[in-house]
Amino acid sequence: MAYNLLQGKRGIIFGALDDNSIAWKTAERVHEEGGKFVLTNAPIAMRMGQINALAEKTGSEIIPADATSMEDLENLIAKSMEILGGKLDFVLHSIGMSVNVRKGKHYTDQNYDWTHKGWDVSAVSFHKTMNVLYNKNAMNEWGSIVALTYMAAQRVFPDYNDMADNKAYLESIARSFGYFFGKDKKVRVNTISQSPTPTTAGQGVKGFDGFIAYAEKMSPLGNATALDCANYTVAMFSDLTKRVTLQNLYNDGGFSNMGVSNEVMTSFMKEE
């Protein structure tokens, strides 16, 4: 049910690939709540996905942009403000990529050119995006910037590989840049740490099916879905969370505070 939490608000959503993606679900929910936005993704990702269908469904325009390119980001933000008719109220950064994971390179034997590429796409692109937003004064006061992350930034999940390092860096950027955005522009910056979610990117991680089943058994409320994350993001974009900033917010059914659950213990118990 829509409550028009975002009526009159406008922004940019990075990373919508297909209807499995969190950014896609977020775009649908923002649209339902009255928000207007521009969709963007890298040109190569757009060829792989179905972003045109989402744009048609939500009445949105698409601006292709490589989030690692300052030139592309400056063009994206300038054109978005032109299309939307003013400064922005919200931005979602939902971008992540590891060439080492994609190519099956073990964490202890990385190709460092690939490592740098993944770091630039997954983490530094967030700094670059905020750099342009900040220096172009493109955000309205009390606006909200959100990036999606994962708990591998704090804990070891071996097959998550160098993406864990990327997410840790991303979260640090959110805090550090968020301080300046808050003090100077009254804009909040947060990350949402989501449950393992069967997105196209997530399913590329080795052993994903086993881990998502484990997380389900560990979490008192079960794994949060992509739609759950979209709803949380809408709340973070709304005026209901005006003074929440510099936070890494867990949306994981309680997983992050669990040591062990009865379900997991039972699976290790021998029959007597």
Confidence class for position 271, pLDDT limits 50, 70, 90 = very low
| Region 195-204 average pLDDT | 72
Instruction: Tell me the pLDDT band of 272, cut-offs 50, 70 and 90.
Output: very low
User: What is the DSSP pairing of strand 61-62 with strand 88-93?
Assistant: unpaired
pLDDT mean over 247-257: 98
> Which one, of 176, 170, 181, lies nearest residue 145 by Cα?
181
Q: For residue 206, give both structure tokens.
A: 């080795």
pLDDT tens across 67-122, in order? 999 999 999 999 999 999 999 999 999 999 999 999 999 999 999 999 999 999 99
Q: Which of 38-52, 169-183, 225-239 has the lowest mean pLDDT?
A: 38-52
| pLDDT average, residue stretch 196-210 | 70
Mean pLDDT of the chain: 94
Residue 245, pLDDT above cutoff 50: yes
Whether pTM > 0.85 for this model: the answer is yes
For residues 91 and 146, the answer to whether their CB atoms sit within 8 Å is yes
pLDDT at 202: 56
How much is the pLDDT for 244?
98
Of all residues in the chain, the percent with pLDDT exceeding 70 is 94
